[in-house]
Amino acid sequence: MLKDIEVTLYDIFGFLLPGFVSLAGLALAFSVPTESFISVTDRLNWWAVAIIAYLIGHLIQAIANVVTRWFPSAEERVLGDKGDLPAIVVQAAKSTVSEKFAIPVGIVDNDLLYHFCDEVIAQTGNKSDRDIYIYREGFYRGLMISFVLLALGILIRISILGAAYRFIDNTMHVTSAMYVSGLVISLVGIMLCYMRYQRFGKYRVRQAVVGFLVIQKKLDAQPTSKTGK
């Protein structure tokens, strides 16, 4: 039965890795100064940590979905009036959707346009680039929120001196300077992850719309080529 379970890239990059970072932040925030951060001596404990991180990763993605609604969507940043794609390309895609699916062009907004284009890409089987963009976008979205939790955990710990953490059989004494360095790295990670999240969101929408137009152009040309023969 376990052999039938498929692990996707999104399970690893979208849930597990952000879950590990978030778990580290929570452990820093709620452990006492002299308590071991993590001490694992057998595979069972490692599996338990991985499962907990995976579950936390799902929660992080749910939080990230809510938080990212506060920012302009990728559809708006690519297809809007000041978006990356030229207005003539966006209008051509909307007109094509309206014509092919008998939908009034006036109700084809940016969000609906993306969903139609994305579904056509998926139905034709050209999903390799699409899946990469979705995985990367989800990974950086979750990792951004995870770094926020890690930064909060470090902030709580900066005021506590003399903390020591044990990883397997190695004990490490952590100074305030090390915490500050970790905080700076976390803040930079938040900024970089947000930038990468936005970038792959743009790639996802742009590839869907342009790919949709290219596919429709090829389909429209097929009857003509057959008649020419």
Show pLDDT as tens, one digit a residue, over the chain (229 residues).
445 555 676 777 778 888 888 888 887 777 655 544 445 445 557 777 788 888 888 899 999 989 988 988 899 999 988 888 899 999 999 999 998 888 888 888 999 999 999 998 888 877 778 888 988 998 999 999 999 999 988 888 777 655 656 655 666 666 777 778 888 999 999 999 999 999 999 999 999 999 999 988 887 777 654 444 4
Domain membership flag for residue 226? no
Q: Are 155 and 190 in contact (CB under 8 A)?
A: no
15 assigned to some structural domain: yes
pTM of the model: 0.78
* 227 located within any domain: no
**187 within a domain of the structure (yes/no):** yes
Domain presence at residue 164: yes
DSSP class of residue 126 equals -
Length of the chain: 229
- Structural domain contains residue 79: yes
Whether 228 is covered by a domain: the verdict is no
Contacting residues for 100 by C-beta, under 8 A, at least 6 apart? 216
41 belongs to a structural domain: yes
For 141, the domain range is 2-220
Number of domains in the chain: 1
- The CA distance from 134 to 185, in Å, is 25
